[in-house]
Amino acid sequence: MRHIQRSILLLIYLTVLFASFVGAQEKTNLNLNELKTFSISPEQEKIFVLKMKKGEFADIQWLANEELPLSFEIYDSNRKELFEQSSAADDSIWFVAPKEDDFLIICKFEKSANFTQAQRISLQYNNKFKLPAGTKLSGTRKINGFDIKIMTTPPLSNGQEMVGGQNSVVLFEKNGQLQKVMKAFGDGSIAGFYFADDITRAYSKEDKQSVLLIKNTLDKTGNGIPDIMINYYSGGAHCCAEHFFVDLGEWANLVDSIGTLHVGMNAKAKNPKGGLFYETADNAFAYWGGSFASSPFPTVILEFKNDKLRPNFYQMKKTAPSLSVLKRKAQLVRQKLSLEPYKGIDNENSVIYKEEFLGEPDFWGEMLDLIYTGNEDLAWQYLDLVWSPQKQGKAIFREDFKNQLNESYYWKMIQEDNSLKR
């Protein structure tokens, strides 16, 4: 018995010792205009302390190889609230302190980083907020005493010629005081931030309905605080879209943001619990097993739960399609299926179709639609109907498909919510 008690006491002691070691991790003060150069390895993180008063501005800049999978994040002194985050591909973070605190700037490698050697980074900050000459106002909104302005800076220049795109900036001001700044780089005439209720960006009937819902709903997250929804588009053929929800109460506070990559996100209806329902599509199978044109994008319905956007699987469910229609679809696909063995999605010798579909949805798009509308059993039966007994590799395909599905950001959350209901 005493041996067990000693073991328990030793375990408690070691736990406290480890916690003390973690809590005592070295922190370095970052002073105004002081240059800090340091080395960082993939298993490390560097923590800098920035002492700020409420309403003070900081332009935090770094010098790092933009290809490094580094993140720069700003937390409160307890590391409980994340205020801003960026990557090495950006050149700085603009931050306005929402309270007086010793804010933590944390530099670390992303978990997927494939680097083994230490990298040298330089960090510095100044407290002067100034937009470059030639900055233009793109749009304004007045909500709950806030002035929200979207600005576009001039294209980058080396003094003689234009060498890049421009920054898109969102300013949140109340009573003439700057409370929050959002900054992102865009390349192209329609790249950058824009208000989600901007009717000039509504290109379809669904877009226009979304704009009206957003415009006429003061609280879009359902947390009881007036807010604004701002979209961002990076420019490019397929990517990338991101959506930001900022509370406009006593202080401008980012509630949540979500990247929808190749697709957008529209408001669909009022949520009886407060806020709105939003519709987007899952990108998990983009380019998987074929071209982008034939990639399936199953519909996902989102709502805010505890200030976080999450799928509402109940809203996504639909009545199962007619079995005769499903059987007919499977027969048509089966005719296009090659009888060559399937050897794995990453195997260059794998063959699925006799020839590429040229823009038609791949048959696993039908499977995804069934799964995402609450008819998963039918999805696996549909695979059985499509796959000829003469074609080897169905078990391998099924495993590849499931692995890709489990990579989905949305499907992971749906599975989490379903497990809590069991």
pLDDT 10s digits, 243-259: 999 999 999 999 999 99
Among the candidates 101, 126, 151, a domain finishes at 126
Alpha carbon distance 84, 320 (integer Å): 43
Residues 117 and 140 in one domain: no
**Cβ contacts of 144 within 8 Å, gap of 6 or more:** 218, 226, 248, 249
Q: Could you tell me if residue 73 is inside a domain?
A: yes
Alpha carbon distance 237, 308 (integer Å): 29
pLDDT 10s digits, 125-153: 999 999 999 999 999 999 999 999 999 99
pLDDT given at position 419:
81
Are residues 342 and 397 in contact, defined by beta-carbon separation less than 8 angstroms?
yes
Domain limits at 400? 323-421
pLDDT given at position 349:
82
Alpha carbon distance 268, 383 (integer Å): 31
Of 39-48, 166-175, 233-242, 377-386, the least confident: 233-242
pLDDT mean over 342-368: 84
pLDDT for residue 370 is more than 80:
yes
pLDDT mean over 8-15: 49
228 — pLDDT class (breaks 50, 70, 90):
very high
Of 163-167, 179-183, 323-327, 343-347, the least confident: 163-167
pLDDT 10s digits, 29-38: 999 999 999 9
pLDDT for residue 17 is more than 60:
no
pLDDT given at position 357:
60
Residues 157 and 94 in one domain: no
pLDDT for residue 27 is more than 90:
yes
pLDDT given at position 6:
54
pLDDT given at position 309:
97
Among the candidates 226, 256, 281, a domain finishes at 281
Are residues 173 and 96 in contact, defined by beta-carbon separation less than 8 angstroms?
no
Q: Could you tell me if residue 253 is inside a domain?
A: yes
pLDDT mean over 318-338: 94
pLDDT given at position 162:
44
Residues 149 and 276 in one domain: yes
Q: Could you tell me if residue 399 is inside a domain?
A: yes
Residues 210 and 254 in one domain: yes
pLDDT given at position 400:
97
Q: Could you tell me if residue 274 is inside a domain?
A: yes
CATH number of residue 226's parent domain: 2.40.128
Residues 154 and 245 in one domain: yes
pTM value is: 0.87
